[in-house]
Structures are given as C-alpha cells and as structure tokens.
C-alpha cells in the first residue's frame, strides 16, 4: 500500500461547479500538507499548504486537513476552464524534512 493515495481521475465537471480533490495517507507523523498544480507538459507548482489540521483559504481555493481520518482535501469554488490541470498532494513529517511524499495526482477537467 502506498503511503499516500490519490484517485487519478480524470474528474470532469462543468464550469462554475465546486470541485473536491482528496488524498488519504497512512503515516500519522505527517504534519505539512501541500497541493501542487501541474499543467500539461509543465512542472508542478505549489498551490497551497497547510500545517497540521484545519482549513486554509486562498481566493477560490480551500485546503482542508483531517488528521484523525488521515484525509486531506482541496476545494475549488466557481471552477474555471483554466483550473484544468493535474493536482498532486504532497506531505512531509517536519519542515526540515525536504523529502516530500507525493500522491499520484488527480487530473481535473473543467468543461466550458
């Protein structure tokens, strides 16, 4: 079993919909949780990060961590065609642990 599980999709939704992307993990020591966005034929780029449990909001994006369930989510409100990309979750134990553990990525398609 992988340390971090992520549904590869593709997830296809109409423009304007609320999108929910999720990852589950098995290592309870993870404390830092990140979401990277990767456009086709590009490198990933950091979208959001959260520390420990709780929510974090940035514009249309909300990252949520539930450590008791070992489950993290990324919500996208008012989704746009420009949000079409692959979203990868990544986690680490401590801030000084420079080795991230990655999910496989979920491909998201927003239909105009």
Partner 1 sequence: NAGVTQTPKFRVLKTGQSMTLLCAQDMNHEYMYWYRQDPGMGLRLIHYSVGEGTTAKGEVPDGYNVSRLKKQNFLLGLESAAPSQTSVYFCASSYSKRGGPIEQFFGPGTRLTVL
Query: Considering the rule CB under 8 A, would residue 64 count as an interface residue with partner 1?
Result: no
DSSP bridge pairs for 69: none
The residue (of 39 and 71) whose beta carbon lies closer to partner 1 is 39
Q: How crowded is residue 62: how many other Cβ atoms within 10 Å of its Cβ?
A: 18
Q: Least distance (Å) from partner 1 to the CB of residue 30?
A: 11
The residue (of 33 and 83) whose beta carbon lies closer to partner 1 is 33
DSSP-derived 3-state class of residue 1 = coil
Q: How crowded is residue 57: how many other Cβ atoms within 10 Å of its Cβ?
A: 12
Query: What part of residues 2-21 is at the interface with partner 1 (CB under 8 A)?
Result: 6, 8
The 3-state secondary structure of 35-85 reads: EEEECCCCCCEEEEEEECCEEEEECCEEEEEECCCCEEEEEECCCCHHHCE
The residue (of 8 and 16) whose beta carbon lies closer to partner 1 is 8
Query: What part of residues 30-59 is at the interface with partner 1 (CB under 8 A)?
Result: 32, 34, 41-46, 49, 51
The residue (of 18 and 46) whose beta carbon lies closer to partner 1 is 46
Contact footprint for partner 1 (CB under 8 A): 6, 8, 32, 34, 41-46, 49, 51, 88, 92, 95-100, 102-105
């Amino acid at each position: 079993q992988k340390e971090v599980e992520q549904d590869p999709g593709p997830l296809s939704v109409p423009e304007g919909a609320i999108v929910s992307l999720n990852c589950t993990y098995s290592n309870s020591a993870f404390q830092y949780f990140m979401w990277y966005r990767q456009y086709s034929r590009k490198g990933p780029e950091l979208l959001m990060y959260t520390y420990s449990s709780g929510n974090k909001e940035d514009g249309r994006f909300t990252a949520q961590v539930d450590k008791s369930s070992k489950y993290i989510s990324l919500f996208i409100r008012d989704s746009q065609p420009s949000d079409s990309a692959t979203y990868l979750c990544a986690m680490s134990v401590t801030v000084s642990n420079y080795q991230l553990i990655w999910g496989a990525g979920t491909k998201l398609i927003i239909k105009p």
